[in-house]
Amino acid sequence: MDSQQPTLLKPFTTIPAHLQTIADYEQQARLHLSAATWEYLQGGAMDEISIRENREQFEQIKLIPRHLKDLTQGQTQLSLFGQNYPHPIFMAPIGHQSLFHPQAEKASAMAAEVLQSNFILSTFTNTDLGELHPENPYKWFQLYWQADRQKSLELVKLAEQQHFKALVVTIDSPHTGIRDRERKAFFQLPENMQHPHTPAHFMASDVAPDQHPLFQGLMHMAPQWNDIEWLIQNTALPVILKGVLHPADAKQAIEIGAQGLIISNHGGRVLDTTISPLTALQMIKATVDPEFPLLLDGGIRRGSDIFKAIALGASAVLIGRPYIYGLAVAGALGVAHTLKILKEEFEVTMALMGTATLKDINRDYIYP
């Protein structure tokens, strides 16, 4: 029996009829990626309990529809930070997209612009910031702290020059998670994929023999609250913190001037057995101003999931793996189709639930 990996399928140039759901795209994407890259994409931290619970919690929440309402003026628009967005399905920052398709982030951004989905470009991008359409109104930049303030600010100023509309600062991964599945597959980034914007705090640091390489090394270069406060004071862009799970952190973020929060456990890829984003969303929603923007990241696979997240207090949601499945299968066309699938499912869910606008969606429509 041949133990070698089967020949990988090339990206499609048209969408096959059998691709109808995100689950379909997930199955198909595996046929287009190497075994190691697939485990990198799908894997999570340690026992991957958080990945499973991120999904399972959506399944446990049930919907309670209301009927006989006038929905003829229905729409999915929302406003964040003074800007209008046509729908609440945003694209999470995912780095190293050349692993999944030759056009990488350029393909994802192109699809996002066509579907009017807000695209968040990762610091770990394989595509230069200037290669994205400068006039696309729906793009934010995600920053990993660059070990010192000046290096971080240089990236922020570059994002400002390229007309990014907001800054997302990821705070939950000063050290990469222990990902067993990825390590067992012997996954490594190709050498030619190293990007000059790679954050310094992910590299080995110089420490004395009597110092701990993690606590006096990597964590010494990680940002602290005063760094984030300084950054907020030195950019005109709205600053959103990504990776917040604790209500006390949410409160402190607001106190130093953060204009939004992305409730996320990093897709279960950093620290296993953290509470799910949906649980954290409810805890944080109860402690902040009702109008303060909270975005949910993690576990979205259906339009009904988007409805549940908004009902529990999210202003918008971020999807990650779903659009990467589309990217692997058919480049920009596949990304656009995955967005279209979720958008249509969400609109149908809204209509069948008796809600005409996002503001109509609340806890009255879900059980428990």
* 315 annotated as ligand-binding: no
* 269 annotated as ligand-binding: yes
* 96 annotated as ligand-binding: no
* 94 annotated as ligand-binding: yes
Strand partners, 84: 79
* 367 annotated as ligand-binding: no
Q: What one-letter code names the amino acid at 341?
A: I
Query: Is the bond preceding 368 in cis, omega lying within 30 degrees of 0?
Result: yes
User: Do 313 and 57 touch, CB atoms closer than 8 A?
Assistant: no
Query: Would residue 133 show up in a list of annotated catalytic residues for this protein?
Result: no
* 257 annotated as ligand-binding: no
* 320 annotated as ligand-binding: yes
* 246 annotated as ligand-binding: no
* 142 annotated as ligand-binding: yes
CA distance linking residue 127 with residue 116, whole number of Å:
20
* 297 annotated as ligand-binding: yes
Q: Dihedral angle at the C-alpha atoms of 48, 51, 55, 56, nearest 10 degrees?
A: 30
Q: Which secondary-structure segment (H or E) carries 78?
A: strand 78-80
* 149 annotated as ligand-binding: no
CB atoms within 10 A of CB 213: 12
User: Do 232 and 258 touch, CB atoms closer than 8 A?
Assistant: yes
Q: Tell me 213's DSSP state.
A: I
Q: Dihedral angle at the C-alpha atoms of 342, 343, 349, 355, nearest 10 degrees?
A: 150
* 321 annotated as ligand-binding: yes
* 179 annotated as ligand-binding: yes
Tokens of 4: 């070698």
* 117 annotated as ligand-binding: no
* 93 annotated as ligand-binding: yes
Burial class (CB in 10 A: 0-12, 13-18, 19+), 190: exposed
- Select which of 87, 201, 266, 337 is catalytic: 266
User: Do 337 and 14 touch, CB atoms closer than 8 A?
Assistant: no
* 170 annotated as ligand-binding: yes
* 122 annotated as ligand-binding: yes
Helix then strand count (H, E) for the chain reads 12, 12
Q: Which secondary-structure segment (H or E) carries 296?
A: strand 294-297
Dmax of the chain from CA atoms? 72
Binding residues for FMN are 93-95, 122, 142, 170, 242, 264, 297-301, 320-321
Annotated binding site: which residue ranges?
40, 93-95, 122, 142, 144, 170, 179, 242, 264, 266, 269, 297-301, 320-321
Hey, which residues are catalytic here? 266
Residues at the binding site for glyoxylate are 40, 144, 179, 266, 269
